[in-house]
Amino acid sequence: MFFHPMDILIFAALGLALWAQSKVKGNFQKWSRVAASSNATGAQVARFILNKEGLHHVKVERSKSGTLSDHYDPRAKTVRLSDPVYQGHSISALAVAAHEVGHAIQDQHNYSMLVIRHRLFPIASIGSQLAPWLFIAGFLLEMTNLIGVGIILFSGAVLFQVVTLPVEFDASKRAKDKLLQLGLIQSREEKGIGQVLNAAALTYVASTLMAVLQLIKFIMIFRGRR
């Protein structure tokens, strides 16, 4: 009931996710010790790019959730940056700040994958919360239909993660392009920017892979019980 051959692949994906997380922290710390040639802070870079894009209405604020809590809030039209990014002058600070601004630019241009992700969010939120309980109830009560409903709900959460991948990769590309185009970094600093952003992207790839494998596992169990 609790072990399935797919679990081997799921554990492998979990290992990849943990490695990716350590890679994110390692690269962020490494390039946090390297000052950007522009000597601008993450907050200044975010504001500068936003203004250049005509997004004067988008605010830049400090995040109150700690390190690596940086995000763009589409409802409040606000880029929130953690302290090391907000006030930092490093390659890491500029990379993360520009990435979050990339999401604001996506929002402004109604980037299709971002629009889809926003629409999927309520479904994904409900699915991720209810699906595990439906799976447990289905197994314990031997009610295959409950497992089927759980699979449908969990599929929404998995689809949300799949759609997140192009959104994150596109934001990173926009970030690197804007930093270079606007002269905020020099070509020799592009390597550091890439390492910080690529490590972060790998965490999304790993978590998505793990979710897809879990979905396949439950589909196989569902089909087997039927």
**What are the residue numbers of the active site?**
100
| CA atoms of 80 and 46, how far apart (whole Å) | 10
Q: State the burial class of residue 224 (Cβ atoms within 10 Å of its Cβ: 0-12, 13-18, 19+).
A: exposed
Angle of CA points 157, 161, 165, to nearest 5°: 165
- What is the Cα–Cα distance from 202 to 168, expressed in whole angstroms? 10
Match 């990173």 to its residue by tokens.
172
Sheet with strand 71-73: strands edge to edge: 59-62, 78-81, 71-73
- Interatomic CA distance for residues 186 and 177, integer angstroms: 12
Which amino acid, one-letter code, is at 74?
A: P
